[in-house]
Amino acid sequence: MARRVSILGATGSIGQNTLDLIARAPDDYDVVALTGAGNIAQLAKDAIALRADVAVTAHENLLDDLRAALAGSGVEAAAGTSAITECASRPADWIMSAIVGAAGLAPGLAALEQGTTLALANKESLVCAGKLLLDTAQKYGTRILPVDSEHSAIFQALIGEDIASVERIIITASGGAFRDWPLEKLAEATLDQASSHPNWDMGQRITIDSASMFNKAMEIIETHEFFHVSPEQIEVLVHPQSMIHALVGFNDGALMAHVGPPDMRHAIGFALHHPERKHLPVERLDLAAIGTFEFRAPDEVRWPALRLARETMQAGGMTGAVFNAAKETALDGFIARQINFPQMAHVVEDTLAQMFASDGHIDATMTLDNVLQVDHLARKAAKAAIHKRAG
Ligand code: NAD
Ligand code: MG
């Protein structure tokens, strides 16, 4: 029987890779919903080709354009953030959460609340509200499958193992675009330079986050939230080839590494077919031809985001939501050329300090409303910090 699937963030990099796998076996899937934002042509094209029930854009003002693009196809059109959450609660067997940013949280929760397996690429929602997502999955008797390559790798290395025998988890980082730049040049890094990754082809935001290591910082928190290991058990290792995605170290000293080409279709396909493994159209590594894997310790002066992630985990509670919102806002500021590259970390640091100082005004019970409230306040504080830095 065909499996009912929905893809949230279908027009993005993860979304398109997911559709690539689904389109290779169209009879196996019954596509319920595809969602996107500004790229109406792509959204409509895919929705028609895959015969989705509904296509949804996040932008209400684009509903007419979407309707026009879908005219005569039989695919329903909808728009707005609440329409995205509504379509995530339509019955499905598997939902890919590949929206970028905290905007993925409410739809992810809606999917879990109707008992759907959630393939989670949207790491921001785990950073903002990991406990809420995991508790919701447990309450509704469903599961979250990690799609971030490192977390898929950890998940695979843990199959058949007892988490109690894990000593440490090592996630690797390519080091991004500025790994080897002189530190004093980072303030001159341009948007174009920050938007090009040495190994992975990804959305612009995560590519810049890779250069600043905010992506790895988010992934440390993601590892802590998802696998319930302590911050001290999580290490980052710079590995320029991006072929070992993560390693799990056990109490007998063994390290289990997950090795594969830098192609997100592996992690996506693993989550799509779980608990089976099926053939995937990814390159088979020729290790003899590759010859060498390199490793280095991460430099926390170059990448202050790693320290900020540790401070965020230590503070706990809603601090992840502050960290994520500050990071997203700082990234907006860099993309808008209001602040320079190293100033993104300063803005996050200022925001964390300011939110700690105003602690007590926030209801720290982790509900969706409270998380969104903290997100809102932190964005405001981060905008003020950008203004201060820019001024
Ligand atoms: P992308 O920018 O290429 O795509 C983002 C998608 O989200 C698009 O479909 C866009 O239309 C949609 N979107 C953007 N803003 C939205 C909003 N406010 N409301 C609803 N939808 C919105 O991003 P990506 O690289 O595909 O990343 C998606 C998620 O997966 C991110 O959380 C990212 O961190 C994570 N991730 C990506 C990769 C990768 O290789 N690209 C790897 C690991 C994890
Ligand atoms: Mg990753």
pLDDT at res. 247: 98
264 vs 361, residue with greater confidence: 264
pLDDT at res. 391: 67
| Mean pLDDT of the region 250-257 | 98
Does the structure show a pLDDT above 90 at 292? Answer: yes
User: Residue 102: in which H helix or E strand, if any?
Assistant: none
CB 305 within 8 A of CB 212: yes
* pTM of the complete model: 0.97
pLDDT at res. 390: 78
Nearest-atom index, ligand 1, CA of 37: 11
Task: Please state, as a whole number, how many other Cβ atoms lie within 10 Å of the Cβ of residue 369.
Answer: 9
Does the structure show a pLDDT above 80 at 360? Answer: no
Q: What is the CA radius of gyration of the chain?
A: 20
Collect all residues with Cβ–Cβ distance below 8 Å to 162 and sequence separation of at least 6: none
pLDDT at res. 364: 79
Does the structure show a pLDDT above 90 at 319? Answer: yes
For residue 73, count CB atoms less than 10 angstroms from its CB and return exposed for 0-12, middle for 13-18, buried for 19 or more.
middle
Which is it for strands 244-250 and 166-173: parallel, antiparallel or unpaired?
A: antiparallel
76 HSE (CA, 13 A, CB side): 10
| Mean pLDDT of the region 359-372 | 83
Q: At what angle do helices 40-49 and 63-70 cross, to 10 degrees?
A: 40
pLDDT at res. 200: 85
233 vs 200, residue with greater confidence: 233
The letter for the amino acid at 325 is A
pLDDT digits (tens, 9 = 90+) for 39-74: 999 999 999 999 999 999 999 999 999 999 999 999
CB 333 within 8 A of CB 347: yes
CB 377 within 8 A of CB 362: yes
Residue to substitute in 7, 14, 85 for testing ligand 1 pocket (most ligand atoms within 8 angstroms of CB):
14
Query: Where is average pLDDT lowest: 67-71, 76-80, 97-101, 363-367?
Result: 363-367
For residue 257, count CB atoms less than 10 angstroms from its CB and return exposed for 0-12, middle for 13-18, buried for 19 or more.
middle
In whole angstroms, give the CA distance from residue 264 to residue 117: 19
Task: State the average pLDDT for the chain.
Answer: 96
> 13 CA to middle of ligand 1, Å?
7
The letter for the amino acid at 165 is S
CB 262 within 8 A of CB 150: no
Residues in the chain: 391
Q: Is 265 in the pocket of ligand 1 (CB under 6 A)?
A: no
In whole angstroms, give the CA distance from residue 81 to residue 88: 11
Q: Is 78 in the pocket of ligand 1 (CB under 6 A)?
A: no
pLDDT at res. 13: 96
**Residue ID of nearest Cα to ligand 1 atom 31:** 100
**Residue ID of nearest Cα to ligand 1 atom 2:** 203
For residue 56, list its beta bridge partners: 35, 78
The letter for the amino acid at 85 is T
The structure tokens 């998802």 sit at: 226
pLDDT digits (tens, 9 = 90+) for 106-163: 999 999 999 999 999 999 999 999 999 999 999 999 999 999 999 999 999 999 999 9
For residue 54, list its beta bridge partners: 33, 76
In whole angstroms, give the CA distance from residue 36 to residue 23: 18
In whole angstroms, give the CA distance from residue 324 to residue 283: 33
User: Residue 56: in which H helix or E strand, if any?
Assistant: strand 54-57
Which three-class secondary structure state does DSSP give residue 34?
strand
pLDDT at res. 248: 98
| Mean pLDDT of the region 186-207 | 93
Tell me the three-class secondary structure of 325-383, residue by residue. Answer: HHHHHHHHHHHCCCCCCCHHHHHHHHHHHHHHHCCCCCCCCCCHHHHHHHHHHHHHHHH
> 150 CA to middle of ligand 2, Å?
5
For residue 248, list its beta bridge partners: 169, 256
Q: Is 121 in the pocket of ligand 1 (CB under 6 A)?
A: yes
CA 172 to chain centre: 16
| Mean pLDDT of the region 275-296 | 97
Does the structure show a pLDDT above 90 at 206? Answer: yes
pLDDT digits (tens, 9 = 90+) for 14-39: 999 999 999 999 999 999 999 999 99
Percentage, residues of the chain above pLDDT 70: 98
| Mean pLDDT of the region 303-326 | 97
Does the structure show a pLDDT above 80 at 361? Answer: no
Q: Is 37 in the pocket of ligand 1 (CB under 6 A)?
A: yes
Residue to substitute in 100, 125, 208 for testing ligand 1 pocket (most ligand atoms within 8 angstroms of CB):
100
In whole angstroms, give the CA distance from residue 375 to residue 324: 8
Does the structure show a pLDDT above 80 at 290? Answer: yes
Q: Where are the beta strands (DSSP E) in 66-184?
A: 76-79, 94-97, 117-120, 144-146, 166-173
pLDDT digits (tens, 9 = 90+) for 332-354: 999 999 999 999 999 999 999 99
